Amino acid sequence: MESKLRTTYVLALSLCFAPAMLLAHHGSALYDTHKRITVQAVVTDWLWANPHCLLEFDVKDDKGNMVHWNAEVSNPQDMVAKGWSKRMFKAGDQVTLTIMPAKNGEPIGRILEVVLNGKKYSGFVVEPTATGSTTPESSKQ
């Protein structure tokens, strides 16, 4: 599947970017914070809930098999502030997702950006570090 996916490895330059502080109940240790995957996906479900909203979707791998993923964004309050809503997705929607994948290789991740009906929405909230540096989100391609 990896070879089929357009995979972008983003190395956060240590001199430019301090470790990310992700707004989350669960920290970033589970995720490969330097890796980005962009996929074409078909939405199967959208869970609008605390602590984090979840998007379920299918992605075709390099053998033509459908792989089921889910990926999180932040809580509903934060996502409303970014223009998201409970009704923004429905099953069957085709979307382009930029994802920070889990380290363990499971089809799990965090959504950093979604393109839906030609409109971009920024995803998981990332905040500046105590040093004032930005985070890998701003370095994504």
Chain residues that interact with another protein, rule: CB under 8 A: 19, 21-27, 29-31, 47, 49-52, 54, 56, 70, 72, 75-77, 80-81, 102-106, 108, 125, 127, 129-130
Q: Which two tokens stand for residue 90?
A: 């429905």
The nearer residue to another protein, 9 or 127, going by C-beta atoms, is 127
Cβ atoms of 74 and 112 closer than 8 Å: no
Q: At its nearest, how many Å lie between another protein and the CB of residue 41?
A: 16
Q: At its nearest, how many Å lie between another protein and the CB of residue 10?
A: 20
The nearer residue to another protein, 26 or 120, going by C-beta atoms, is 26
Query: Please, how many CA atoms are within 13 Å of residue 124, restricted to the half-sphere of its CB?
Result: 34
The overall longest dimension of the chain from CA atoms, in Å, is: 45
Q: At its nearest, how many Å lie between another protein and the CB of residue 118?
A: 27
The nearer residue to another protein, 35 or 52, going by C-beta atoms, is 52
The nearer residue to another protein, 22 or 39, going by C-beta atoms, is 22
Q: At its nearest, how many Å lie between another protein and the CB of residue 116?
A: 20
b/e burial code for range 84-106 (CB count within 10 A of at least 16 → b):
beeebbeeebebebbbbbbeeee
CA dihedral 110, 30, 44, 9 (to 10 degrees): 50
